[in-house]
Chains A and B, each alone.
Chain A
Amino acid sequence: MLSCREVVQDADQLLAGELTWQRRMSLQMHVLMCHHCRRYIKQLRLLIRGIPFMHAKASDDEVDQVMAHICSGDNSEH
């Protein structure tokens, strides 16, 4: 029987579909009986999906600065 620590260490590979069939079965057996690990995996999945949104949007000033840089690059080529 896997320990909770081993489940947490393997959870990334479980979610990426990279575990062997045997290891996946062992992990799923543990998760069926352990609600802490079930919760960990559910929330890890949520966290991974949330990471692309972790950086705030740029401000108007920052966007203007980038667009001005692009336009100056365009002009310098003509």
Chain B
Amino acid sequence: MDKDSLEQLKLGDQKLFSELVRDHHHALIALATPIVGRSEAEEVVQNAWVKAYKAIANFEGKSALRTWLSRIVINEAKMQLRSRKRELLFADMGDAHENHDALTDRFSDKGRWKHSPTNWHVDSPDALLMSSDLARCLERLLAEIPANQRAMLEMRDASGLPFDEICNELSISASNARVLLHRARAALFELVDRYQETGEC
């Protein structure tokens, strides 16, 4: 969003705010899902949009809009959990190291590539995950990976939140957070690589 549009948005331009909703709504629901569960994520995000609309005049541009919106959603999700006296959805999911790394089987016993990555025929990041077939597989994958991995992926890579902030929000150690993020990215890499190689996923 350019500077003039941002100023208009901060003055309460509803059309521009609608575009903001269009661009970020699904990403914010995806962010709230591993925290409160799919059934409550929409309600959390609806309430977060009301708060964002009221607070947009105070947006200082110190972070990206997606990051700013994500913080509002996370606060709203945590309020929802507190009001229902619930824990984080994945609080009892155990140690990050217990889960499987999707790329493990690609290496020989000596740690060399047994099945190396294929050459992806996409150069632009925004085009990489946009094919409708891949999008369906991606949705399925995100629903299948452990909630703590998904939370890391959504918070760090999709929302751009700083690593330290995520560790605080989720009350996890930096080393656990790194493992979770690596596992989530490995699962996504495996999916995209298979799709690029075979056209299926």
Residues on A lying within 8 angstroms of B by beta carbon are 3-6, 8-9, 12-13, 16, 36-37, 39-40, 43-44, 46-58, 62-63, 65-67, 69-70, 73
Contacts of A47 in B (CB 8 A): 125, 128, 185, 188-189, 192
Cα–Cα, bound, A36→B113 (Å)? 8
- For A56, the closest partner residue in chain B by CB is B26
A73 / chain B contacts, CB cutoff of 8 Å: 50, 53
* Interchain CB contact under 8 A, A40 and B26: no
The answer to whether B91 has its CB under 8 Å from any CB of chain A is: no
Closest CB in chain A relative to B143 CB, distance in Å: 13
Q: What DSSP secondary structure best describes chain A's contact surface?
A: helix
B55-95 residues at the A interface, CB under 8 angstroms: 66
Q: How far is the CA of A70 from the CA of B112 in the complex (A)?
A: 55
What B residues does A49 contact at CB under 8 A? 125
Q: Which residues of A contact B130 (CB under 8 A)?
A: 53
| Majority secondary structure of chain B interface residues (helix, strand, loop or mixed) | helix
Complex partner residue of A51 from B23, B120, B188, CB under 8 angstroms: B188
Given contact pairs A12-B178, A53-B130, A67 touches B160 in the complex (Cβ within 8 A): no
- Binary contact readout B2-26 vs A (1 if CB under 8 angstroms, 0 otherwise): 0000000000001001100111011
Contact of B126 with A50 in the complex, beta carbons under 8 Å: yes
Give Cα distance in the complex from A40 to B107, angstroms. Answer: 13
A48 to B122, alpha carbons, bound, how many Å? Answer: 14
B181 beta carbon closer than 8 Å to chain A: yes
17 A-B contact pairs sorted by A residue (CB < 8 Å): A3-B111, A4-B107, A5-B112, A8-B103, A12-B181, A12-B182, A13-B178, A44-B189, A46-B120, A51-B153, A51-B157, A62-B25, A63-B21, A66-B49, A69-B50, A70-B53, A73-B53
